[in-house]
């Protein structure tokens, strides 16, 4: 039940962030500085999240050779191909292969 309420809250918040300028501020101009600042939200949050997902229950980051190599492989393939499917395949391939040895 808590999970469902959390989903409702995020759903509402998502709609607000998608609609705020379209509905409420349609006839006003948004300061370009605000729009530019918003463009850094995505990369900053996602990369912070990548690290946060590796945090174990003791509060420290647990990443071995397999994890780091998988990120490197994924980053390289994502940068070269700009394709999310290839990125995930490359990252998981590296993760599985190195996971066998380490």
Partner 1 sequence: MPLVVSAIPFALVVALAITESGIGNLIGWSSAPIIFAGAAQLTLITLLGTGTAVVAAVSAALVINARHMMYSAALAPTFQKQPKWFRWLGPYALLDQTFALVILRKDDDPKDFRTYYLAASATFIIFWNTTVALGLMVGPVVPESWKLEFAVPVMFVGIVVMSIDHHPKAVAAIVGAGASYLFAGLPNRAGLLVGALFGIVAGVLADRWSER
**Footprint of partner 1 on 63-102 (CB under 8 A):** 67, 70-71, 74-75, 77-79, 82-85, 87-88, 91-92, 95-96, 99
Nearer to partner 1, 39 or 101 (CB): 39
Measure the CA–CA gap between 69 and 87, rounded to whole angstroms: 13
Measure the CA–CA gap between 76 and 83, rounded to whole angstroms: 11
Residue 59, phi-psi category: left (phi > 0), alpha (psi -120 to 50), beta (remainder): left
Q: How many CB atoms lie within 10 A of CB 76?
A: 14
What's the min distance (Å) between Cβ of 56 and partner 1? 9
Give me the sign of the Cα torsion angle 21, 43, 66, 73: positive
Query: Which two tokens mark 5?
Result: 């309420």
**Footprint of partner 1 on 13-72 (CB under 8 A):** 13-15, 17-23, 25-27, 30, 34-55, 59-61, 67, 70-71
Nearer to partner 1, 82 or 101 (CB): 82
Per CB under 8 A, residues contacting partner 1 are 2-11, 13-15, 17-23, 25-27, 30, 34-55, 59-61, 67, 70-71, 74-75, 77-79, 82-85, 87-88, 91-92, 95-96, 99
């Amino acid at each position: 039940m808590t999970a469902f309420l959390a989903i409702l809250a995020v759903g509402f918040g998502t709609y607000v962030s998608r609609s705020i300028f379209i509905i409420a501020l349609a006839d006003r101009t948004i300061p370009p500085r605000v729009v530019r600042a918003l463009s850094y939200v995505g990369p900053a949050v996602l990369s912070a999240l990548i690290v946060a997902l590796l945090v174990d229950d003791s509060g420290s980051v647990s990443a071995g050779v397999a994890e780091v190599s998988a990120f490197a492989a994924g980053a390289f393939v994502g940068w070269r191909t700009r394709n999310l499917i290839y990125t995930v395949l490359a990252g998981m391939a590296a993760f599985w292969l190195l996971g066998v040895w380490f």
